[in-house]
């Protein structure tokens, strides 16, 4: 079956008949399937082999959705309305798996960006990396297209690789992710509510990877991590403890995003100073 053959789940479900509960289950299933297909397309998967096992799996997923629609007793875990853990301390052990997080990202409908995204953007890299790089969001450039598989952007990813090479870091040794987990069309700017919907995913990634250092690239990622309102120029150049973690927890180093550097090349000198600071910290580890 070609990837994408399921089409738009919202259109497919608009004519559902029968009990309202089953129609709601089908809408949720098709919306989730659409997100998974987009995620697989971003990975380069262009077809699925037809088999009885696949058919059985789809029947099982429908059964799971129907069971999930039944009312259940509240649990003691602190959970947000979107279904994401409220903070790192409340992330259940079963959720601390990057593959599981990526699946949740692909199916997420927690905010209005889900209807606009070009494809989901889970993080990528080493599962137990010492360094976690966090950008703001991935967006298509004005008048251009956005090929699948990007993290910060076509030119931005190229610059990021050069930045890592400059301090002798192999990209395979780090984990790279974004605050916003959707690739967006040009001109679509995430708002505070969208960032709040995505932040639990980032917290799950931090809890799973347990990095020594987090390098936040850009204002949105920096403010989300440090829960602060200072300017990036005032926050960069030093290490900050990650709020809500112990003294032995990761530290955060803020610097400029590659998108900003492409527009303001004069800031590369300051960014190079941040990279040298980052390299020294990692060498001490």
Q: Is the pLDDT score of 8 beyond 90?
A: no
pLDDT digits (tens, 9 = 90+) for 115-126: 999 999 999 998
Say if 103 falls within a structural domain.
Answer: no
pLDDT digits (tens, 9 = 90+) for 224-240: 999 877 899 999 999 99
155 plus 58 within the same structural domain: no
Q: How confident is the model at residue 75 (pLDDT cuts 50, 70, 90)?
A: very low
Q: Which residue has the higher pLDDT, 142 or 285?
A: 142
What is the pLDDT of the chain when averaged over all its residues?
Answer: 78
Q: Which residue has the higher pLDDT, 80 or 254?
A: 254
Q: Looking at the 3D structure of the chain, how many domains does it have? A: 2
172 plus 59 within the same structural domain: no
Say if 80 falls within a structural domain.
Answer: no
Please check whether residue 220 is in contact with residue 136, taking contact to mean a CB–CB distance below 8 angstroms: yes
Mean pLDDT, residues 73-81: 29
151 plus 249 within the same structural domain: yes
pLDDT digits (tens, 9 = 90+) for 135-172: 999 999 887 788 988 999 999 999 999 999 999 999 88
pLDDT digits (tens, 9 = 90+) for 268-281: 999 999 999 999 99
253 plus 187 within the same structural domain: yes
Structure tokens at 272: 């190079």
The predicted pLDDT at position 31 comes to 60
Say if 229 falls within a structural domain.
Answer: yes
Say if 88 falls within a structural domain.
Answer: no
Instruction: Please tell me the distance from the alpha carbon of residue 194 to that of residue 36, in angstroms, as a whole number.
Output: 20
Q: Which residue has the higher pLDDT, 65 or 203?
A: 203
273 plus 193 within the same structural domain: yes
Say if 45 falls within a structural domain.
Answer: yes
Q: Is the pLDDT score of 76 beyond 50?
A: no
pLDDT digits (tens, 9 = 90+) for 27-70: 656 665 665 565 555 555 555 555 555 555 555 545 544 444 44
45 plus 121 within the same structural domain: no
Sheet with strand 138-139: strands edge to edge: 119-120, 182-184, 138-139
Say if 225 falls within a structural domain.
Answer: yes
**Structural domain of 211:** 115-284
Q: Is the pLDDT score of 82 beyond 60?
A: no
Say if 24 falls within a structural domain.
Answer: yes
Instruction: Please tell me the distance from the alpha carbon of residue 86 to that of residue 59, in angstroms, as a whole number.
Output: 31
Structure-token match 């697989």, residue found: 40
Say if 153 falls within a structural domain.
Answer: yes
Q: Is the pLDDT score of 262 beyond 90?
A: yes
Please check whether residue 26 is in contact with residue 16, taking contact to mean a CB–CB distance below 8 angstroms: yes
- Paired strand residues for 79: 85
Structure pTM? Answer: 0.68
146 plus 257 within the same structural domain: yes
Q: Is the pLDDT score of 132 beyond 60?
A: yes
Q: Is the pLDDT score of 73 beyond 50?
A: no
């Amino acid at each position: 079956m070609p990837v994408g053959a399921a089409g738009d789940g919202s259109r497919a479900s608009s004519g559902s008949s029968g009990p309202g509960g089953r129609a709601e289950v089908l809408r949720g299933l098709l919306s989730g399937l659409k997100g998974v297909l987009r995620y697989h397309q971003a990975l380069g998967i262009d077809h699925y082999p037809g088999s009885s096992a696949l058919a059985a799996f789809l029947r099982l997923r429908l059964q799971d959705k129907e069971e999930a629609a039944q009312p259940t007793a509240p649990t003691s875990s602190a959970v947000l309305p979107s279904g994401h853990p409220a903070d790192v301390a409340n992330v259940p052990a079963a959720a601390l798996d990057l593959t599981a997080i990526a699946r949740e990202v692909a199916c997420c409908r927690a905010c209005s960006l889900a209807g606009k995204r070009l494809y989901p953007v889970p993080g990528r890299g080493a599962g137990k990396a010492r360094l976690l790089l966090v950008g703001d969001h991935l967006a298509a450039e004005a008048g251009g297209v956005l090929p699948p598989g990007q993290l910060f952007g076509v030119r931005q990813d190229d610059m990021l690789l050069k930045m890592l090479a400059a301090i002798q870091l192999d990209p395979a040794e780090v984990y790279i992710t974004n605050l916003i987990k959707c690739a967006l069309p040009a001109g679509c700017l995430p708002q505070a509510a969208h960032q709040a919907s995505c932040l639990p995913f980032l917290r799950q990634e931090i809890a799973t990877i347990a990095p020594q250092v987090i390098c936040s690239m850009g204002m949105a990622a920096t403010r989300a991590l440090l829960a602060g309102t200072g300017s990036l120029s005032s926050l960069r150049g030093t290490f900050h403890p990650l709020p809500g973690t112990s003294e032995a927890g990761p530290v955060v180093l803020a610097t400029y995003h590659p998108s900003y550097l492409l527009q303001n090349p004069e800031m590369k000198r300051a960014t190079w100073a941040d990279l040298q600071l980052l390299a020294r910290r990692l060498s001490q580890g």
